[in-house]
Structure formats: C-alpha cells, structure tokens
A = this chain, B = another copy of it.
Amino acid sequence: MDKLRKHLEEIIALSDEEFEYIKTFFVPKRVKKHQYLIQEGDQANLEYLILSGIFRMFYLDSEGKEYIVQFAGENWWMADYQAYFNAKKATLHITCMEDAEVLCLNLAGREKLAAGLHKMEHFFRVKLTKGYTAQHRRIISLLSSTPQQRYEEFGLLYPHLMQKIPKKYIAEYLGVSRETLSRLYTNSKGR
C-alpha cells in the first residue's frame, strides 16, 4: 500500500489517519498474463490502479476485430468508464499483457471517498483532467496525422512500450493494419 500513498501524495498531502481511512477502500489483486480484468458484458463496477505490469484495453467489433483504446502501466488507472459511471455492462475488454499487481476500487467506495474527503475529490478531478487532455491529443492525432506520424509520435510518447509490446498491438492502437504498419517502418529505415 506504500505505492498507493506515494501515488496519492504526488497530488495531495495526507495525514496518517486520512491514509488509513482511504486505504480501506482498496483491495489488492494479482493478475497473470492473459488474464482478463474486465470482459464485455461484465458488471464493470471496479476501477483499477496498476502498481506493476502492463494491460491493454480494447474494443471488439462484431467481426471479432480488436481496436486498442489504451495501454496502461504502472500508476495508471483503468476502468471501462462508460460502464463504470453509468452502471451499465462493459463494452470493453481489459487484459493483462505482463504479470501485474493492481488495487481495486469500487464505484460506491470511490464516490464515498470523494464525498467524504474534499482532497480525494480533488485528486480524482486532477487525474481525470490529465486523462482528458491525453485523449484530446489522441483525437487530434487520429484526425490530422498520417499513420507514419502517429507511429513516430507513439514512439516518442511511449518509448518503453515501443520495445515491450508486439507491433501488431501498436498497429491496433494507431488504427492501421499490421501489414501497413510493418511497411511504414521497413520502407523508411534509411530516412
């Protein structure tokens, strides 16, 4: 739980009592590679803080094609927020790509925390703000950049993922086919 405290204190200051209270809302969980945190149709009322490991969140269309909404590693929060905030069933999948440890927070607990501690409401707002602007960037990138540029941007933004993650998943994240992505960088090696 040390990691949790450190994570929270990057944004808000906490007394020992406050943290003791806060931590009662979080439940630790170990997750192995290939294991799902959430699957389509689940009652996705949990949010996860990743302590270690890597996950990918993806949408599966009616033909069984995957589209990656985001990757997530240490200190990222993950949930099917649409399901989470509207108490609907999940439309996304979250799966583990590298053995992981996470903390689970359920929706009721989260709202109780936010309502009870102004600091925590603030924490969630700040986190959400960052997520919001990140998504914003992604939308602009999807609209205005070529796959080539998106690939390069990805490399700059997530150099560690670039190495660890199979290219086919990066292609799914960028919104191009595996083959097109492969040609992008093999044809531009010299440039």
Contacts and interface: CB of A to CB of B under 8 A. Distances in A.
Interface of A: 59, 61, 65, 67-69, 81-82, 85-86, 114-115, 118, 121-122, 124-125, 128-129, 131-133, 135-140, 142-144, 175
Among A82, A131, A136, chain B packs the most CB atoms within 10 A around the CB of A136
B81 A144 contact: no
Contacts of A65: 144
Given A69-B139, A138-B139, A142-B175, 10 more contacts: A68-B143, A69-B140, A69-B143, A114-B122, A114-B125, A115-B122, A118-B118, A118-B121, A121-B125, A139-B139
Chain copies in the assembled complex:
2
9 residue pairs, one from A and one from B, having the closest CB atoms: A67-B143, A125-B125, A135-B135, A118-B118, A67-B144, A142-B142, A128-B128, A143-B175, A121-B121
Nearest to A68: B143
**A interface SS class:** helix
Given A59-B144, A114-B122, A69 B136 contact: yes
B61 A144 contact: yes
Contact of A59 (B121, B124, B143): B143
Contacts of A138: 139
A115 B118 CA distance: 8
Contact of A142 (B85, B133, B139): B139
A140 B175 contact: no
Contacts of A137: 82
